[in-house]
Structure 1
């Protein structure tokens, strides 16, 4: 391995992994609760809203955390900017796809699922603190 080659990092050992797991659990929980309380349409609407937030976050985390170490700093910064741009574009595309393709849809449930996953990501510092170090 060349001294300038960025080191690859196992994804399960990154700080993003437990956050993405928590966001996945929240996505499924919101969908299940909405389905049980308001019916099938609300359930899949909440699931889609959660996925609209979760999928771009997975993309971003993969891009940013695929390298590690001090030698990788330049690569990490570059991946951060391109990952964030990709995340924003992917979020917009997924929202548009949901609005155009899925019918019927409960709009409040879509946004509820989306916001629940975003809130989980916003509390990432609390989640990552409990993540065991290897």
Structure 2
């Protein structure tokens, strides 16, 4: 390996995988609860809201955490900026596509599950500290 080539981590070894799994579980459970409680429109609206939060986070994790090691410091910073910019753009595009293309739609369910899925990020330090999945 060349000294200028940063070390790349395989996707399944990323430290953020437990957070992504927790987000997907929370979004799925919230959509299932909405489906049972408020009907199918609220259920798939909630699932779309969860996916709008989860897919950009998956993209960010892929971009931001793919490098490791002290020699890759510049590549890590560049990939964090690129990942965050892509995450914001992807979130806006997914919201626009959802509200323009999905009818009928319950906006409250979309935003509610979106926010609930984002709240999982607040508990990321707990998930990363207790490592649910060992490599």
Whether TM exceeds 0.5 here: the answer is yes
For normalisation by structure 2, the TM-score amounts to 0.95
**RMSD of the alignment, in Å?**
1.1
2:18 matched residue in structure 1: 18
Deviation, structure 1 residue 73: 1.1
Distance 1:71 1:5 in 2: 9
1:2 matched residue in structure 2: 2
Distance 2:36 2:100 in 1: 25
Q: What's the secondary structure of 2:5's corresponding residue?
A: coil
2:112 matched residue in structure 1: 112
2:35 matched residue in structure 1: 35
Deviation, structure 1 residue 133: 5.9
In structure 1, stretches of 5+ residues that fail to align are none
> Residue 3 and residue 119 in structure 1: after superposition, are their counterparts in 2 closer, same or farther (change >3 A)?
same
Stretches of 4+ moved more than 3 A in 1?
none
Greater mean deviation of Cα atoms: 120-129 or 47-56: 120-129
1:47 matched residue in structure 2: 47
1:129 matched residue in structure 2: 129
Distance 2:61 2:76 in 1: 11
Distance 1:44 1:88 in 2: 23
Q: What's the secondary structure of 1:85's corresponding residue?
A: helix
Matched residue count? 134
1:60 matched residue in structure 2: 60
Deviation, structure 1 residue 77: 0.3
Residue 86 in structure 1 maps to residue 86 in structure 2: yes
Deviation, structure 1 residue 52: 0.5
2:74 matched residue in structure 1: 74
For normalisation by structure 1, the TM-score amounts to 0.96
